[in-house]
Amino acid sequence: MAVQDRSCATRQTIIAGAAEVFEKSGYGRASLIQVAERAQVTKGALYFHFASKQDLAKAVIEEQHRLVVHDGLTVLQEGRPPLDAMIVMCREFGHRLLHDPVVRAGIRLTFEASSFGRSVHEPYEDWIRVMENLATRAITDGAIREGIAPSVLAKFVVASFTGVQMVSDVRTGREDVMERIRDMWQILLPGIQRDMSPDRIGRLLDLIPRNCQAETEH
């Protein structure tokens, strides 16, 4: 491995270790020593890459956002109809929240960020932009009825998804998160779709399976 690759690999190892520590202990109780131990690197190596706990938290949040944006781009490249893509993106995000420690830690840190004096708003802006773009196309395609402002719908989808997964975390440790995401769309769809036939709604809801076993679809 070239020196640069090795340095990059060490950085990723540290971020993965930090994610596990932050996810378990929260920002306030996490320590750099715990992170170094978990990542199996020396404190020197850790300080070479990250000057402070705050730096490390920022890196985990950024890595989390990168992963989720990557999922979003994959969904876009699959060429699904835009309303389907909006639903599948929520499903994929839910899936990451269930199974990916970096995403779990990144979201926890995003919520806790105000406690360490930062406000993390860029990921929300990115998501609102993507959802607004999809909603605009879904109206053109005739999937979402006219009279709904894409920017209003996009802001609400992002905000309500944020609340849904957060409340699911607080109430059930995210055990019911996929079911709650499905419920979200079950309540939203009849109000926003042009074709309100139960068949069409059922087909869209099938994009989010009821049980976790089936979640690995796609």
Interacting residues with its own copies (CB under 8 A): 25-29, 108, 111-112, 114-117, 119-121, 124-125, 148, 152-153, 155-156, 158-164, 166-168, 170-171, 180, 183-184, 186-192
Quick one: 41 or 130, whose CB is closer to its own copies? 130
Question: Closest distance between its own copies and the C-beta of residue 197, in Å?
Answer: 14
SS (H, E, C) 57-75: HHHHHHHHHHHHHHHHHHH
Quick one: 95 or 182, whose CB is closer to its own copies? 182
Q: Which two tokens stand for residue 4?
A: 């640069």
**Which amino acid does the sequence have at 2?**
A
Q: Which two tokens stand for residue 168?
A: 């699911």
Question: Closest distance between its own copies and the C-beta of residue 50, in Å?
Answer: 18
Residues with Cβ within 8 Å of 83's Cβ and at least 6 positions away in sequence, in order, are 134, 138, 141, 143, 144, 193, 204
Question: Closest distance between its own copies and the C-beta of residue 42, in Å?
Answer: 27
Quick one: 176 or 215, whose CB is closer to its own copies? 176
Decide if 205 contacts 186 (C-beta within 8 A): yes
Question: Closest distance between its own copies and the C-beta of residue 125, in Å?
Answer: 7
Quick one: 31 or 116, whose CB is closer to its own copies? 116
**Count of alpha carbons within 13 angstroms of residue 53, beta-carbon side:** 17
